[in-house]
Amino acid sequence: MASRDNLRGITAMLLAVPAFSFMDAGLKMLAQHYPAMEVAALRAFASLPLVIAYVAWRGAFPTLWRVRWRWHLLRGVLGIGMLFLFTFGLRTLPMAEAYSLSFIAPILITAMSVPVLREKVDRGRWVAVFVGLAGVLVVLRPTGAGMFSLAGLAILGAAFCYASSAIVVRLVNKTDSSESLVFWLMIFVATGAGTMAAPNWTAVRLDDAWILLGVAVFGFAGQLTITEAFRHGQASVIAPFEYTALAWGIGLDWMLWKAVPDHATLLGGAIIIASGVYLIRKEKVREITLAP
């Protein structure tokens, strides 16, 4: 049963990654014209109508109030920090480089899942995770050039906020509905980021309406699928599959900004993806072995 849940979580993560990649491309476009905190607020405000419609369709409004409020509030704070820091870094960094730095998040999730969630991480998963990290280091170069730039530090801070939020999802998934996780995150981010962005708010241009629509749709789809991923699978198993975002980042960099990755980025990406493929095969073997 655990193996089947992990495979379900892996599938959800592999759907969430491209959705968030397209959303991030929209955030990068918006970041050229608006302050980072305003972009964070716009992302939440744009998604709220879809979230409310989804909750209504599921008939889940009564469940929204039966939640552990302190964890949802914490997740809202982490969500604001993640979106603000990631948008700030993405303003100047290519998507592939930003993703490479953000890949520290799966390592943080795996490390935190042991003391916080009491999950068991076997040797094979640790090896695969650190092989993926080695791929990230290849992308960064041995010197780590650019890692400690202001934009780079912002991306690393966003990765920490994301990893912490993922752990919170695992802590509350037994008692709180997936609808409440998505709904209250958007409410808290929209309210908090909107309040902080208000003093320096820049009027939204009509030409950017289509970008906001894309951010809303892809962000909504990504939030649903990533929430399901961490609800059904072990955090230490699901997290490494976010490495596939590097391939999406490379493709979007080329299509939208004509930025071509160098050989080190391609080599590191290949190593990262190979570690994810190994974990997929490992979970399939376990399911077959455990099947009655």
pLDDT of residue 140: 65
C-alpha 26: how far from chain center: 15
Q: Is the pLDDT of residue 70 over 90?
A: yes
Q: Is the pLDDT of residue 286 over 70?
A: no
Please give the average per-residue pLDDT across 37-53, as a whole number.
95
| 112-162 pLDDT, tens digit each | 777 777 777 778 777 877 887 787 777 666 555 545 578 878 988 998 998
Whole-angstrom distance, CA of residue 67 vs CA of residue 78: 18
Mean pLDDT lowest for which of 5-9, 41-45, 121-125, 284-288? 284-288
Compute how many other C-beta atoms are within 10 angstroms of the C-beta atom of residue 38.
Answer: 23
Pick 286 or 180 by higher pLDDT: 180
Integer angstrom CA distances of residue 281 from 48, 67, 269, 270:
37, 36, 19, 17
Q: Is the pLDDT of residue 229 over 80?
A: yes
Pick 52 or 9 by higher pLDDT: 52
Mean pLDDT lowest for which of 74-78, 116-120, 126-130, 211-215? 116-120
pLDDT of residue 288: 47
Question: With 0-12 CB in 10 A as exposed, 13-18 as middle and 19+ as buried, what is 53?
Answer: exposed
- Give the DSSP per-residue string, the chain: -HHHHHHHHHHHHHHHHHHHHHHHHHHHHHHTTS-HHHHHHHHHHHHHHHHHHHHHHHT-GGGGGSS-HHHHHHHHHHHHHHHHHHHHHHTTS-HHHHHHHHTHHHHHHHHHHTTTT-----HHHHHHHHHHHHHHHHHH-TT-TTTTSHHHHHHHHHHHHHHHHHHHHHHHTTTS-HHHHHHHHHHHHHHHHHHHHGGG--PPPGGGHHHHHHHHHHHHHHHHHHHHHHHHS-HHHHGGGGGGHHHHHHHHHHHHH-PPP-HHHHHHHHHHHHHHHHHHHHHHHHHHHH--
% pLDDT > 90, the chain: 45
Mean pLDDT of the chain: 85
Q: Is the pLDDT of residue 48 over 70?
A: yes
pLDDT of residue 148: 58
pLDDT of residue 281: 63
Pick 98 or 152 by higher pLDDT: 98
Q: Is the pLDDT of residue 104 over 90?
A: no
Mean pLDDT lowest for which of 7-11, 104-108, 288-292? 288-292
pLDDT of residue 279: 64
pTM: 0.82
Reported as a pLDDT band with limits 50, 70 and 90, residue 292 is very low
Domains of the chain, by residue range, sit at 2-290
Q: Is the pLDDT of residue 16 over 70?
A: yes
